[in-house]
Structure 1
């Protein structure tokens, strides 16, 4: 198969009943832009996308022998956090602190309709436990809405038509906050020398 240098559509654009060959990719793989992977049907796919391009769940990469090769977000080990409802004041404070700290730690997040997902990490678990923010370990696709400093609130799954990015923008630093964040050596306990 030729090298894939651009997507050719989205799964939702395919005709009803179209044959697809899923290519399961993790969030890191979808953001890398350059990789070789094997589809569920055994097709070897070489991908070389422009810098800053991130594949989305449902993107169609190619058609081979009448079959559409479609990106599907692979299941990953994640934490799911949801804002609490039992004690609105305290729960709102925990939720805000959790979102702020995930951004401050430069942890990738995806917002869902009822909360957020972030990769499992013992440090994150320790922090969430310390402030009393409930979370649950889940295995599911790491997909959903994302917040980026230059684009605001973006939809990252389902329709896959958000492919316009600022020149040179990389998606390996998604934060839970949308504000400007300057990195100072003292922010994360680093040596200032």
Structure 2
């Protein structure tokens, strides 16, 4: 089984041999077995704390193979509001519940949850169920040293 153990720097010019789409949660796991679109099974064994982003490339332990990571579209709720204040207030309430949250200037995005959807609607926000790539904030301690 091919094992990927390192992350290439963004300026590396290696062309990927394969591409795999991963959900937001899968992009946080440093050790996992995955199946490529062609059916081959691979292992990912990265240092603890490494998070993968859309377009990141991994290199195999032999250095011969490069794997490109893309963000897989997944079920999400996209929240919009008629004012910036309403969107900020929604982010506050969602943050109090410690849910993974993507924060953009014009929308918030989170995993589907009927209870949270009801709360957001009661706050006067628009909630739309979608299938889209999800890029939650890493949080205050989500940076690398």
So what's the TM-score if we normalise by structure 2? 0.82
SS in structure 2 at match of 1:27: coil
- Aligned residue for 1:34? 31
- Aligned residue for 2:70? 72
SS in structure 1 at match of 2:54: coil
- Aligned residue for 2:110? 118
SS in structure 1 at match of 2:99: coil
Shift of 1:102: 0.8
d(CA) in 2 for partners of 1:25, 1:123: 26
**Are the equivalent residues in 2 in contact too, given 1:21–1:41 (CA < 8 A)?**
no
1:165 partnered with 2:113: no
User: Over aligned residue pairs, what C-alpha RMSD do you find?
Assistant: 2.6
Shift of 1:20: 4.5
Shift of 1:19: 5.5
- Aligned residue for 2:59? 62
**Are the equivalent residues in 2 in contact too, given 1:80–1:115 (CA < 8 A)?**
yes
- Aligned residue for 1:81? 79
Select 2:92's aligned residue among 100, 112, 117: 100
Structure showing greater radius of gyration is 1
Select 1:133's aligned residue among 112, 125, 138: 125
SS in structure 2 at match of 1:108: coil
- Aligned residue for 2:4? 4
d(CA) in 1 for partners of 2:105, 2:42: 32
> Unpaired segments of 5 or more residues in structure 1?
85-90, 152-163, 167-193
> Unpaired segments of 5 or more residues in structure 2?
none
Say if 1:33 and 1:127 are closer, same or farther in 2 by CA, change over 3 A. same
Residues 29-74 of structure 1: CA deviation (Å, up to 9, x unaligned): 111211100122333220122222111111111369x864211111
**Are the equivalent residues in 2 in contact too, given 1:78–1:139 (CA < 8 A)?**
yes
**Are the equivalent residues in 2 in contact too, given 1:9–1:61 (CA < 8 A)?**
no
The count of corresponding residues between Structure 1 and Structure 2 is 143
- Aligned residue for 1:185? none
Shift of 1:113: 5.3
Shift of 1:130: 1.1
